[in-house]
Structure 1
Amino acid sequence: MRVTIHQPEHLPWLGLLAKVAASELWVVLDSVPYRKNYFQNRNRVLLDGRPTWLTVPVTAPFGTRIRDVQICEVPSWRRRYRGRLTQAVSGTRCADRAGDLLSLIDAAPPGGSLADLNLDIADWLLAQFDVKVPMVRASELDATGSNTELLVSLCRATGADEYLSGPSGRDYLDLDAFAEQGIAVRFFDFDHPLYAQGGETFVPCLSAVDAWSRLDPAELPRLLSGYRLSAS
Structure 2
Amino acid sequence: MRVTIHQPEHLPWLGLLAKVAASELWIVLDSVPYRKNYFQNRNRVLIDGKPTWVTVPVTAPFGTPISEVRICEVPHWRRRYRGRLCQSVSGLPGAHKVDDLLSSVDAAAHGSSLADLNLDLADWLLAQFDVKVPRIRSSELDARGAKGELIVDLCRAVGADEYLAGPSGRDYLDLEAFTEQGIKVSFFDFEHPVYSQGENDFVPCLSAVDACARLAPEELPPLLAGYRTGAS
Task: Identify the TM-score tier after normalising by the shorter chain.
Answer: over 0.9
Task: Give distance in 2, aligned partners of 1:173 and 1:206.
Answer: 27
Normalised to the residue count of structure 1, the TM-score between the two structures is 0.99
Deviation at 1:109, TM superposition (A): 1.2
Provide the C-alpha distance between the structure 1 equivalents of 2:38 and 2:199, rounded to a whole number of angstroms. Answer: 26
The AA in structure 2 aligned to 1:164 is L
Note the alpha carbon deviations across 1:163-216, whole angstroms, 9 max, x for none.
Answer: 000001001111111011000000000000000001331000000000010000
Whether contact under 8 Å (2:49, 2:200) holds in the other structure is no
| Map of 1:96 onto structure 2 | 96
Q: Which amino acid aligns with 2:52?
A: T
Residue 98 of structure 1 aligns to a residue whose secondary structure is helix
Superposed, 1:1-232 pairs within 5 Å as 1-232=1-232
For structure 2, the residue ranges without an aligned partner over 5 or more in a row are none
Superposed CA offset, 1:45-99 (max 9, x none): 0011100000000000000000000001111101100000000000111112221
1-structure distance, mates of 2:95, 2:151 = 39
Q: Which amino acid aligns with 1:224?
A: L
For residues 1-47 of structure 1, what are the alpha-carbon distances to aligned partners after superposition, in whole Å with 9 as ceiling and x for unaligned? 00000000000000000000000000000000000000000000001
Q: Distance in 1 between matches of 2:200 and 2:18?
A: 26
Give distance in 2, aligned partners of 1:57 and 1:97.
23
Q: Give me the identity figure in percent.
A: 77
* Native 8 Å contact 2:66 2:115 kept in 1: yes
Q: Counterpart of 1:66 in structure 2: which amino acid? A: I
Instruction: Give the aligned residue type for 1:93.
Output: P
Secondary structure class of the residue paired with 2:43: strand
Return the letter of the residue paired with 2:138. Answer: A
AA aligned opposite 1:149: E
Q: Is the 8 A contact 2:24 2:134 kept in 1?
A: yes
Once residues 200 and 41 of structure 2 are traced to their aligned partners in structure 1, the CA distance between those partners, rounded to angstroms, is: 29
Alpha-carbon distance between aligned partners in 1 of 2:22 and 2:141, rounded to the nearest angstrom: 22
Supply the RMSD in Å over aligned alpha carbons: 0.6
**Gaps in structure 1 of 5+ consecutive residues:** none
User: Within 1, Cα distance between the matches of 2:52 and 2:138?
Assistant: 31
Q: Secondary structure at the match of 1:110?
A: coil
CA distance in 2, matches of 1:198, 1:149: 45
Distance 1:131 1:156 in 2: 24
Q: Counterpart amino acid of 1:127?
A: A
Quick one: distance in 1 between partners of 2:121 and 2:28? Answer: 13
